Amino acid sequence: TMEKKSVTFTEPYVDASSGNVIISPAVPLRNSNDEIVGVLAADIKLTKMVEKINSIKVYNGAGYLFLLDENGVVMSYPEKEFLGKKLAEIKGMEELGKKVEEKKNGTIEYKINNAGYKIKFCQIPETNWIVVIAVENKVINKGLNEIVIKIQVILMLSIIITVLISILIAKTITE
Protein backbone atom coordinates (compact mmCIF):
# COMPACT_ATOMS: atom_id res chain seq x y z
CA THR A 1 0.00 0.00 0.00
CA MET A 2 1.02 3.59 -0.46
CA GLU A 3 0.70 4.32 3.26
CA LYS A 4 4.23 3.10 3.77
CA LYS A 5 6.98 5.49 2.76
CA SER A 6 9.09 3.14 0.70
CA VAL A 7 8.91 1.85 -2.83
CA THR A 8 6.15 -0.68 -3.53
CA PHE A 9 6.37 -3.15 -6.42
CA THR A 10 3.51 -4.68 -8.35
CA GLU A 11 3.50 -8.38 -8.97
CA PRO A 12 5.25 -9.18 -12.25
CA TYR A 13 2.92 -9.41 -15.22
CA VAL A 14 3.16 -9.99 -18.96
CA ASP A 15 2.44 -6.83 -20.95
CA ALA A 16 -0.36 -7.57 -23.41
CA SER A 17 1.07 -5.50 -26.26
CA SER A 18 4.79 -6.37 -26.03
CA GLY A 19 4.75 -9.78 -24.36
CA ASN A 20 7.48 -8.56 -21.98
CA VAL A 21 7.50 -9.40 -18.29
CA ILE A 22 6.98 -6.11 -16.40
CA ILE A 23 7.07 -4.91 -12.81
CA SER A 24 5.97 -1.47 -11.74
CA PRO A 25 7.63 0.25 -8.79
CA ALA A 26 5.59 3.00 -7.17
CA VAL A 27 6.55 5.51 -4.51
CA PRO A 28 4.21 7.93 -2.73
CA LEU A 29 4.91 11.64 -3.14
CA ARG A 30 4.29 13.54 0.07
CA ASN A 31 3.98 17.21 0.96
CA SER A 32 5.63 18.91 3.92
CA ASN A 33 2.80 17.63 6.19
CA ASP A 34 3.63 14.05 5.17
CA GLU A 35 0.33 13.73 3.28
CA ILE A 36 0.28 11.77 0.07
CA VAL A 37 -0.18 14.18 -2.83
CA GLY A 38 0.60 11.80 -5.65
CA VAL A 39 2.27 8.60 -6.73
CA LEU A 40 5.26 8.15 -8.97
CA ALA A 41 5.20 4.86 -10.87
CA ALA A 42 6.96 3.38 -13.86
CA ASP A 43 6.93 0.16 -15.84
CA ILE A 44 10.22 -1.71 -15.87
CA LYS A 45 10.79 -4.47 -18.38
CA LEU A 46 12.45 -7.52 -16.91
CA THR A 47 13.50 -8.61 -20.40
CA LYS A 48 17.25 -8.54 -19.71
CA MET A 49 16.86 -10.42 -16.45
CA VAL A 50 14.64 -13.03 -18.14
CA GLU A 51 17.17 -13.37 -21.00
CA LYS A 52 20.02 -13.82 -18.52
CA ILE A 53 18.11 -16.46 -16.57
CA ASN A 54 17.13 -18.30 -19.75
CA SER A 55 20.73 -18.18 -21.04
CA ILE A 56 22.18 -19.97 -18.02
CA LYS A 57 23.09 -23.47 -19.07
CA VAL A 58 22.49 -25.95 -16.28
CA TYR A 59 24.59 -29.09 -16.63
CA ASN A 60 25.40 -28.33 -20.27
CA GLY A 61 21.76 -28.23 -21.26
CA ALA A 62 20.62 -31.26 -19.24
CA GLY A 63 18.69 -28.91 -16.98
CA TYR A 64 17.26 -25.42 -16.88
CA LEU A 65 16.02 -22.87 -14.45
CA PHE A 66 13.07 -20.58 -14.29
CA LEU A 67 11.58 -17.92 -12.07
CA LEU A 68 8.12 -17.65 -10.49
CA ASP A 69 6.55 -14.82 -8.57
CA GLU A 70 5.31 -15.55 -5.04
CA ASN A 71 1.94 -16.71 -6.41
CA GLY A 72 3.46 -19.26 -8.78
CA VAL A 73 3.14 -17.14 -11.94
CA VAL A 74 5.92 -17.87 -14.45
CA MET A 75 8.25 -14.88 -14.95
CA SER A 76 10.93 -16.69 -16.94
CA TYR A 77 10.88 -20.07 -18.60
CA PRO A 78 12.63 -21.53 -21.66
CA GLU A 79 9.25 -21.82 -23.43
CA LYS A 80 7.81 -18.30 -23.87
CA GLU A 81 4.18 -19.48 -23.96
CA PHE A 82 4.41 -20.23 -20.22
CA LEU A 83 5.16 -16.58 -19.33
CA GLY A 84 2.46 -14.97 -17.22
CA LYS A 85 0.69 -18.25 -16.54
CA LYS A 86 0.41 -19.95 -13.19
CA LEU A 87 2.70 -22.99 -13.13
CA ALA A 88 -0.04 -25.02 -11.40
CA GLU A 89 -2.32 -24.37 -14.39
CA ILE A 90 0.12 -25.49 -17.11
CA LYS A 91 -0.57 -28.95 -18.49
CA GLY A 92 1.90 -31.45 -17.09
CA MET A 93 3.13 -29.02 -14.42
CA GLU A 94 0.06 -28.91 -12.15
CA GLU A 95 1.49 -30.94 -9.27
CA LEU A 96 4.87 -29.24 -9.49
CA GLY A 97 3.22 -25.83 -9.37
CA LYS A 98 1.14 -26.78 -6.33
CA LYS A 99 4.16 -28.14 -4.44
CA VAL A 100 6.35 -25.12 -5.20
CA GLU A 101 3.60 -22.68 -4.18
CA GLU A 102 2.91 -24.63 -0.99
CA LYS A 103 6.49 -25.19 0.20
CA LYS A 104 8.39 -22.20 -1.35
CA ASN A 105 11.71 -24.00 -0.59
CA GLY A 106 12.65 -27.60 -1.15
CA THR A 107 13.72 -30.41 -3.44
CA ILE A 108 11.40 -32.88 -5.14
CA GLU A 109 11.45 -35.52 -7.86
CA TYR A 110 9.19 -34.80 -10.84
CA LYS A 111 8.58 -36.04 -14.39
CA ILE A 112 8.59 -33.47 -17.19
CA ASN A 113 7.93 -34.76 -20.70
CA ASN A 114 8.48 -38.34 -19.46
CA ALA A 115 11.98 -37.56 -18.16
CA GLY A 116 12.77 -37.77 -14.46
CA TYR A 117 13.98 -34.50 -12.94
CA LYS A 118 15.20 -33.38 -9.59
CA ILE A 119 13.62 -29.99 -8.92
CA LYS A 120 15.26 -27.61 -6.44
CA PHE A 121 13.43 -24.42 -5.57
CA CYS A 122 13.93 -21.59 -3.14
CA GLN A 123 12.20 -18.34 -2.35
CA ILE A 124 14.26 -15.16 -2.40
CA PRO A 125 13.35 -13.31 0.81
CA GLU A 126 13.76 -9.78 -0.58
CA THR A 127 11.26 -10.31 -3.43
CA ASN A 128 9.41 -13.51 -2.49
CA TRP A 129 10.14 -14.70 -6.03
CA ILE A 130 10.95 -18.39 -6.39
CA VAL A 131 13.94 -19.69 -8.34
CA VAL A 132 13.35 -23.19 -9.69
CA ILE A 133 16.11 -25.41 -11.08
CA ALA A 134 15.18 -28.57 -12.95
CA VAL A 135 17.94 -31.07 -13.73
CA GLU A 136 17.54 -34.47 -15.29
CA ASN A 137 18.20 -37.19 -12.76
CA LYS A 138 20.91 -38.73 -14.92
CA VAL A 139 23.21 -35.72 -14.45
CA ILE A 140 22.30 -34.61 -10.93
CA ASN A 141 24.18 -33.72 -7.74
CA LYS A 142 26.67 -31.01 -8.71
CA GLY A 143 26.55 -27.26 -8.36
CA LEU A 144 22.87 -26.51 -7.70
CA ASN A 145 23.62 -24.21 -4.78
CA GLU A 146 26.16 -22.26 -6.85
CA ILE A 147 23.53 -21.59 -9.52
CA VAL A 148 20.93 -20.49 -6.96
CA ILE A 149 23.43 -18.03 -5.49
CA LYS A 150 24.20 -16.60 -8.95
CA ILE A 151 20.50 -16.07 -9.65
CA GLN A 152 19.96 -14.47 -6.25
CA VAL A 153 22.82 -12.06 -6.93
CA ILE A 154 21.42 -11.16 -10.37
CA LEU A 155 17.94 -10.59 -8.93
CA MET A 156 19.20 -8.55 -5.99
CA LEU A 157 21.30 -6.31 -8.26
CA SER A 158 18.27 -5.76 -10.51
CA ILE A 159 16.08 -4.82 -7.55
CA ILE A 160 18.69 -2.52 -6.01
CA ILE A 161 19.14 -0.68 -9.30
CA THR A 162 15.36 -0.33 -9.68
CA VAL A 163 14.94 1.01 -6.14
CA LEU A 164 17.80 3.49 -6.59
CA ILE A 165 16.35 4.76 -9.86
CA SER A 166 12.90 5.10 -8.28
CA ILE A 167 14.31 7.05 -5.33
CA LEU A 168 16.30 9.35 -7.62
CA ILE A 169 13.24 10.03 -9.77
CA ALA A 170 11.08 10.65 -6.69
CA LYS A 171 13.66 13.07 -5.23
CA THR A 172 13.89 15.02 -8.50
CA ILE A 173 10.13 15.40 -8.69
CA THR A 174 9.68 16.42 -5.06
CA GLU A 175 12.46 19.05 -5.16
Residues ≥6 apart with Cβ < 8 Å to 93: 87, 112
Distance CA 128, CA 72 (A): 10
pLDDT attached to residue 87: 92
pLDDT attached to residue 175: 66
Distance CA 158, CA 1 (A): 22
Which one, of 53, 56, 55, lies nearest residue 68 by Cα? 53
Q: How far apart are the first and last CA of the chain?
A: 23
pLDDT in tens, 43-71: 888 877 778 888 888 777 778 889 998 88
- If pLDDT is split at 50, 70 and 90, which confidence band does 4 have? low
Report CA torsion sign: 6, 8, 9, 11.
positive
Q: Does the model's pTM come out above 0.85?
A: no
pLDDT in tens, 101-158: 889 899 888 888 888 888 999 998 877 889 999 888 777 655 566 777 788 888 888 8
| Main-chain phi, psi angles of 167, to 5 degrees | -65, -45
pLDDT attached to residue 121: 93
pLDDT in tens, 102-112: 898 998 888 88
